[in-house]
Amino acid sequence: MAKVLSAIEHDLGGLHVKRVLPNQEKRMVGPFIFFDQMGPNDIPAGQGINVRPHPHIGLSTLTYLFEGSILHRDSLGNNLEISPGDVNWMTSGKGIVHSERESFEVRANPHSISGLQCWVALPENMTEIEPSFTHVKRNDLPHSMFEGVMMRLIVGDAYGLSSPVKSYSPMFYIDVLASEGSKISKPHPTHETAIFPISGKVEVNGVSYGAGEFILLDESDNEITMLESGRFILLGGEQFEHVPHLHWNFVAYSKERMEQAKNDWKNGNFPTIPGDDREFIPLK
């Protein structure tokens, strides 16, 4: 039977989030080791998102917005805004630093922000790869429409579609818009799977769920029915045999590597962000 994983609320540099993963009941869903719902937040002029430079190792970050924009800058020299429907996919590998802020024009006016941020753990044999960054516009992502169900595949492979975003283990991350009465089958029967309704109500094995609930499906849960027209995120992947350690912004498979990353940040051994290197978030 499906279960709902509860969220814990946090404030991150002016951004209100509800964090589902990691969770006491389930640390990972497929390769997803971190899941935050950002907002929805209404932000007055002169205020906004201000996440100072901070490091990552051993993971890929995935940012996907429903409303608003975020200015991404990183130690590879990338400097761009992400808009609703676009994908920011940053693979830290052996180490990267980035900041998440807003452009002057956005911050100068009242604005809103709503979206999701996930961390995807790298397989153990790929944790030390070179860092990389990919930005894909929404119209360049695979889409399908059939019998009242519209899908956008963001990352991975599902329903005969394949995302141009390079992932490192079998996974899927899909934005689904469906009309009342629609039925959507689980994309991979053997993969761990979760759904996160943005609007409307869904039903799984006779139980209904609403917006903002993170629903972990059971192996026997093979179909999702729309009780109301709405939108949901469908995510998951192949179960990891070994669950890595997670501390602050770091993912590692050994405590020694984790300690090295902590010391490297404290001692200033990570690369810096061109044009955004005057402040940083201290180690927690």
| Number of domains composing the chain | 1
| Reported pTM | 0.96
Domain limits at 10? Answer: 3-237
Is 247 among the domain residues?
no
CA-based torsion, 142, 144, 150, 155: positive or negative:
negative
Is 280 among the domain residues?
no
- Enter the DSSP assignment of 93: T
> Which residues, in sequence order, are bridge partners of residue 11?
16
Is 210 among the domain residues?
yes
Is 176 among the domain residues?
yes
Is 272 among the domain residues?
no
Instruction: Classify 12 as helix, strand or coil.
Output: strand
Is 43 among the domain residues?
yes
Length of the chain in residues, anyone?
A: 284
Is 196 among the domain residues?
yes
- Enter the DSSP assignment of 210: -
Query: What's the CATH number where 116 sits?
Result: 2.60.120.10
Is 127 among the domain residues?
yes
Taking only the tens of pLDDT, the chain with its 284 residues reads 899 999 998 876 667 789 999 999 999 999 999 999 998 989 999 999 999 999 999 999 999 999 999 999 999 999 999 999 999 999 999 999 999 999 999 999 999 999 999 999 999 999 999 999 999 999 999 999 999 999 999 999 999 999 999 999 999 999 999 999 999 999 999 999 999 999 999 999 999 999 999 999 999 999 999 999 999 999 999 999 999 999 999 999 999 999 999 999 999 999 999 999 999 999 98
Task: Collect all residues with Cβ–Cβ distance below 8 Å to 40 and sequence separation of at least 6.
Answer: 66, 67, 112, 113, 114
Q: Whose structure tokens read 């996160």? A: 196
Question: What is the Cβ-side half-sphere exposure of residue 277, based on CA atoms within 13 angstroms?
Answer: 12
> Which residues, in sequence order, are bridge partners of residue 18?
9, 37
